Amino acid sequence: MPDWRQALHLEPPRGWLNDPNGLCCFGGLYHIFFQYCPADARGAGPKLWGHYQSPDLLHWTFTGAPLAPDTPWDKGGVYSGCAVAEGGVMRLYYTGNVKHPGAHDYIHTGREANTLLVETADGVHVSPKKLLMTNADYPADCSLHVRDPKVWREDGLWKMVLGARSLADAGRVLLYHSEDGLAWRLARVLEPAPAFGYMWECPDCFALGGRTWLSLSPQGLPHGETENQNVYQSGYFALDGGIETGTPGPFAEWDKGFDFYAPQTFETADGRRMLIGWMGMPDADYRNPTADLGWQHCLTLPREVTPGPHGLCQRPARELDALADGAPVTVDGILGGIPLPCRLNATAQGAFALTLASALELSRATPEAPVCLRFTDEALGGGRTVRRAPVDAGPLALTMVVDRSSLEIYLNGGAAVLSTRFYPGDGPVPLAVEGLTATVQPLRPMTFTGL
């Protein structure tokens, strides 16, 4: 059986993983919580929060599932949220989902979306849960789809953004203020006209490069050949004027690949803005064969986010450099097998083609064309087909991180990114390049304990 367990990416020990939650630096450790369904690899059971921690983003310990749906406010699932370090503890804000039995559409009737808070000093032991808001506390013209709190402190206030769907099926963000992080009041409803999708999930507001940015995952956008190619999208707006009064600029997607959704950012102790996403896609028409083996999905690598000439750029966290294992190998033509995991760096002056595992093609037809990621074998891609990423015309720089069942492809310094799962068979994974100058750098696996 092929070894599809990842060497660089966080996965569930068993069962299902989706949204990253509660990302923060606290107590000298990085903490990553995530949506977790240990009972079923297809996500059919109760949703909990799982928890990983690390001193350096390279050595990870799974500590278990500190949050479970065990109150009347979250009995349908512990849904997404965030972490804020405050007074020697992490405050974990999240959505408690409740679905009532009956003939409901769960948009206008039959659902509760409660905003809850717990505290933890270690990511393992949590305080009793506090109910902060219910649907009665949200605007009257919201549907029952209100979720995914992201909380931060700014200008002497606690601030929270929630993703929502209006009764008119328009995506929106609700901004709340608080003096103590407990009692909240509505400050703004941010909803562009005309509507931009019918639902906004996983909002995240942060400052970077002298500007305010609003990240979110909108649902219901029209699809195009190079834009919004997935079922749902994840991207960001610049909010010149800030979250209080700013108007969203053009929408830019975080990732053009098959598998990326529900990202969240956090700030490292040394001031870097880091992003982690779910390397998956809800309601997709492709599959992940590891579900038959008892687990499914992973998170992306931590990515450093920096301002770029056309928006925001991403690159793998610099900590990954410490995993370099030996000298890079130059590739000119065909390499019979590459080590997994590895990092490939390449440049192209014009058209190029790269083929991995004989059936995954990354190419560019002309120096002005989009970069195309295409599977030519149904089994290798689990039903994935093609995705395209527009990039600036001219020479191209490429970095590809290849794990045992995933690729993260960064183009022109991360101005565009393509992420996908892939499932090679037993034996060597061949690589062929044409029109590229490329090197392959073997990487040591990260360390995972507590699984």
372-409: burial string, b at 16+ Cβ within 10 Å, e else: bbbbeeeebbbebeebbbbbeeeebebbbbbbbbbbbb
Q: How confident is the model at residue 342 (pLDDT cuts 50, 70, 90)?
A: very high
Residues 6+ apart with CB under 8 A from 156: none
Q: What is the DSSP letter of 170?
A: -
Please report the pLDDT score of residue 2 as a whole number: 84
- Give the pLDDT mean for 145-152: 98
For residues 52 and 72, the answer to whether their CB atoms sit within 8 Å is no
Mean pLDDT of the chain: 97
Which of 89, 77, 143, 141 minimizes the C-alpha distance to 120? 89
Which of 3, 19, 180, 259 is catalytic? The answer is 19
Which long-range contacts (C-beta less than 8 Å, at least 24 apart) are formed by 83-86? 83/21, 83/22, 83/23, 83/24, 83/26, 83/31, 83/33, 84/24, 84/151, 84/152, 84/153, 84/181, 85/24, 85/25, 85/26, 86/181
Which of 397, 428, 427, 423 minimizes the C-alpha distance to 411? 397
For 367, half-sphere exposure in the C-beta direction (CA atoms, 13 angstrom radius) is 8
* Res 290 pLDDT > 90: yes
Name the one residue in this structure whose structure tokens are 């991180």.
Answer: 401
The region, left, alpha or beta by phi > 0 then psi within -120 to 50, assigned to residue 239 is: beta
Structure tokens at 182: 């407990």
Rounded Cα gap, residues 223 and 35, in angstroms: 27
Structure tokens at 254: 């975080």
For residues 2 and 425, the answer to whether their CB atoms sit within 8 Å is yes
pLDDT in tens, 97-143: 999 999 999 999 999 999 999 999 999 999 999 999 999 999 999 99
- Give the pLDDT mean for 295-324: 97
Please report the pLDDT score of residue 451 as a whole number: 82
- Give the pLDDT mean for 62-76: 98
Rounded Cα gap, residues 343 and 408, in angstroms: 10
The DSSP H or E segment spanning 378 is helix 378-381
Q: How confident is the model at residue 353 (pLDDT cuts 50, 70, 90)?
A: very high
Rounded Cα gap, residues 432 and 34, in angstroms: 36
- Give the pLDDT mean for 177-182: 98
Please report the pLDDT score of residue 152 as a whole number: 98
DSSP conformation letters of 22-85: EEEEETTEEEEEEEEETT-TTS-S--EEEEEEESSSSEEEEEEEEE---STTTTTEEEEEEEEE
Active site residue 137: no
Q: How close are the terminal C-alpha atoms of the chain, in Å?
A: 21
Which of 351, 350, 324 minimizes the C-alpha distance to 439? 324
- Give the pLDDT mean for 364-368: 96
For residues 202 and 153, the answer to whether their CB atoms sit within 8 Å is no
* Res 1 pLDDT > 80: no
Percent pLDDT > 70 in the chain is 100
